[in-house]
């Protein structure tokens, strides 16, 4: 596959190297001279110097072929957005992946239909919440395109759902239990699955149904 | 009528002053509070310090009630993104965006954005100015 990666910082350089090791053809674009010169020692003709939001720079990197995927990995969210828009809409690149540096800019990527995105800060925050839960309902994954999210709930002794079968719960519409984790063993949640105190339950639901789900499982 | 100007450099500040004189209610946003001095000593409009990518700040600046927006920070891509946010999230029809790079200005203009490219104006003006010069024909000795 042919990949154009914009941004030759740590993220871009490591991604480019990993893709090349897998045998893919990669062109990396880096704007800063000092970085470019260091990258050139390693990547030779596979790194181009220039501003990847400039159309002629993208063209020189072979965007008109077009590549199978463009990765917008610079440290600037506005640049990453424009790179993805140019790739998709001007050059018909079938797939893009954008790095989001400031999680507050995620809404702009969503608004302009740039997906998937990856944000290190958001991922770390989700892990922190998973490892040291502050809330009784932990967001594990947001499926933006599907408008669904996956959450984890811990059932305890006082929970109204403890001792009940899944089919007996009046789960809110637009939600479903996926699995139950009990003493290190996970099983898929079906109607006859019996919930017990200490269970970690994964659920999939539409955003906004969290409170209803919390009430049914935990009464909080 | 309400106008929001994002980016108060030479361009943004002059547009703000000009349209304020014509009776617009103008709010100006800039990252740097020193930019306020570009609006003179008696700026009657509002001035907010912050980044135009910050939607909370845009709301505070009254973007929901704006009839028009001028996006003129010193970054083309920043302007392009803010311009689209103003158009698509806040539904402002009259959004005018400064884009220095002619290629990007054309691309986004074709997608329905009112881009204004000072570089193109300069290229056309300078080219015309050279054409208009009356060059005396050199007579070889």
Share of chain A above pLDDT 70, in %: 99
pLDDT confidence band for B69 (50 / 70 / 90): very high
What would the pLDDT profile of A163-216 be if each residue is shown by its tens digit?
999 999 999 999 999 999 998 899 999 999 999 999 999 999 998 888 899 889
Based on the number of CB atoms within 10 Å of its own CB, is A132 exposed (0-12), middle (13-18) or buried (19 or more)?
Answer: exposed
B84 and A111 within 8 Å at the Cβ level: the answer is: yes
**Domain boundaries defined on chain B:** 2-132
Percent of chain A with pLDDT over 90: 80
The pLDDT of residue A42 is 96
B119 in contact with chain A, both atoms CB, cutoff 8 A: no
Residues of B in contact with A101 (CB under 8 A): none
pLDDT(A142) > 80: yes
Residue range A21-43: average pLDDT? 97
Is residue A220 pLDDT above 70, yes or no? no
Put simply, the answer to whether A107 touches B55 (Cβ < 8 Å) is yes
Decide if B77 and A105 are in contact by the 8 Å CB cutoff: no
SS3 (DSSP) at A83 = helix
Is the pLDDT score of B95 beyond 90? yes
Mutate to test the interface with A, among B71, B73, B81 (most CBs of A within 10 A): B81
- Residue A134: pLDDT above 90? no
Residue of higher predicted confidence among B132 and A129? B132
Long-range contacts of B82-86 (CB under 8 A, 24+ apart): B82/B6, B82/B52, B82/B53, B83/B108, B83/B113, B83/B115, B84/A108, B84/A111, B84/A112, B84/B113, B85/A108, B85/A111, B85/B53, B85/B55, B85/B58, B86/B4, B86/B58
Residues in chain B with CB shorter than 8 Å from the CB of A76 are 77
- The whole-model pTM stands at 0.82
Mean pLDDT for the stretch of residues A84-94: 97
The answer to whether residue A150 scores a pLDDT higher than 90 is yes
Q: Which residue has the higher pLDDT, A208 or B98?
A: B98
pLDDT at A131 over 90: no
- Under a CB-based contact definition with an 8 Å cutoff, are residues B45 and B16 in contact? yes
Q: What are the structural domains, with CATH classification, of chain A?
A: 2-122 (3.40.50.720), 133-218 (3.30.70.1450)
| Per-residue pLDDT at B141 exceeds 70 | no
Distance from CA of B61 to the nearest CA of A (A): 18
One of 3.40.309.10, 3.40.50.720, 3.40.50.10470, 3.40.50.10440 is the CATH number of B2-132, namely 3.40.50.720
CA of A148 to nearest chain B CA: how many angstroms apart? 22
Cβ of A53 and B76 within 8 Å? Answer: yes
State whether B103 and A105 contact (CB < 8 Å): no
pLDDT digits (tens, 9 = 90+) for B1-60: 999 999 999 999 999 999 999 999 999 999 999 999 999 999 999 999 999 999 999 999
């Amino acid at each position: 596959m042919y990949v154009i990666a914009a941004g030759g910082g740590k993220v871009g350089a490591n991604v480019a190297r990993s893709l090349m090791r897998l045998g893919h053809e990669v062109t990396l674009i880096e704007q800063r001279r000092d970085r470019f010169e260091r990258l050139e020692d390693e990547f030779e003709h596979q790194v181009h110097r220039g501003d990847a939001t400039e159309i002629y720079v993208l063209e020189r990197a072979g965007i008109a072929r077009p590549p199978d995927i463009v990765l917008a990995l610079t440290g600037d969210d506005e640049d990453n957005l424009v790179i993805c828009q140019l790739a998709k809409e001007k050059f018909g690149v079938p797939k893009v992946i954008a790095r989001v540096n400031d999680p507050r800019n995620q809404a702009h990527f969503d608004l302009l239909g740039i997906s998937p995105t990856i944000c290190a800060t958001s991922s770390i925050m989700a892990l922190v919440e998973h490892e040291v839960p502050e809330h009784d309902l932990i967001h594990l994954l947001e499926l933006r395109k599907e408008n669904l999210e996956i959450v984890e709930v811990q059932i305890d002794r006082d929970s109204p759902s403890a001792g009940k079968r899944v089919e007996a719960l009046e789960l809110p519409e637009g939600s479903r239990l996926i699995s139950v984790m009990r003493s290190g063993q996970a099983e898929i949640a079906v109607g006859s699955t019996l919930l017990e105190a200490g269970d970690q339950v994964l659920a999939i639901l539409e955003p906004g149904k969290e409170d209803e789900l919390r009430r049914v499982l935990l009464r909080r | 009528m309400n106008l929001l100007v994002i980016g108060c450099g030479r361009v943004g500040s002059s547009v703000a002053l000009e349209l304020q004189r014509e009776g617009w209610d103008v709010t100006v946003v800039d990252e740097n509070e020193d930019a306020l001095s570009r609006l003179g000593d008696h700026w009657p409009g509002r001035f907010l310090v912050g980044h135009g990518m910050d939607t909370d700040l845009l709301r505070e600046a009254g973007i929901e009630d704006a009839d028009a927006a001028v996006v003129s920070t010193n970054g083309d891509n920043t302007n392009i993104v803010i311009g689209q946010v103003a158009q698509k999230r806040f539904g402002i029809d009259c959004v005018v965006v400064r884009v220095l790079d002619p290629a990007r200005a054309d691309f986004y203009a074709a997608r329905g954005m009112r881009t204004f490219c000072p570089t193109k104006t300069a290229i056309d003006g300078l080219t015309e100015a050279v054409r208009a010069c009356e060059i005396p024909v050199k007579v070889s000795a």
